[in-house]
Amino acid sequence: MFKLLISLLCVIGVSVVSAADLVVIHSNTTQFPKGLLLDNYTPISLFSPAQITVVFSNGSVKTLAGPYQGELTEPFSVHKADPNLVSTLAQLLTKKGNVYRTTVPTSKDVWLVDVSTPKRYYCVEPSQNVTLWLPEKQTRRASTMLIKHKPTDTAVKVKWPARKMTLDWPRIKMPIHYGDTYTVEITNRSNSVFKKLILYQLPKHLPTDSHKVVWMVGRGCIPQANLLLASLR
């Protein structure tokens, strides 16, 4: 399941991190920086206004705010512990120059597919429709969108109404084949946008949003994984 993720981490030069119980994902104190690996028996001492958020090896998330003194107790969860989960998140947060840290998403909604940028890989929830997104400044005029399925050369053309920032994928005319390459071209009288797009559907069995972050990074959905990780509290 994580073969692509392992390849990505090798490319960016990430070393293997030893197993741990939890990882710091948000912090406003240098005492516990992002990416720091800890165990359940590490004594924690926080003074106001210090605050940290951690992810445990079962995917649970916990936020602590000072004043706090004691150990980090793992919240009860029916999900099994996976040391690779916290070690992977630590690698993503601490590796200098990591594409994960430097990629800034445009849309603030995790699951919107931004067709205004050249970013190719996007992940979608199995329970949601694929929704395409354009920034407001690019929707001042009505446009025409041409979607082409590269393996079969099948194409469909639809209207993108003016002042409408989102548009559902035309599933009836263009069924989605996850993992295949599509081209999306949006044109009007003053502007043209073209990109290649590959969509991946998250498996239903991923137990927590923490697991989703790791899976998404493995498929190259970096801006979305960035947004989802930022939302964990």
User: Which CATH architecture does the domain made up of 112-201 adopt?
Assistant: Sandwich (2.60)
Domain boundaries, the chain: 3-99, 112-201
Q: Tell me the whole-structure pTM to 2 decimals.
A: 0.81
Q: Do 150 and 180 form a contact (C-beta atoms < 8 A)? A: yes
Question: In the chain, what is the greatest distance between 2 CA atoms, to the nearest angstrom?
Answer: 63
**Burial of 182 from C-beta contacts in 10 A (0-12 / 13-18 / 19+):** buried
Q: How many C-beta atoms lie closer than 10 Å to residue 136's C-beta?
A: 9
pLDDT value of position 12: 35
Alpha helices in 36-190 (DSSP H): 83-94, 99-102
Instruction: Specify the pLDDT at position 77.
Output: 72
pLDDT at position 19 is 57
pLDDT at position 9, please?
40
Give every residue of the chain whose pLDDT is below 50, as ranges. Answer: 1-18, 97-105
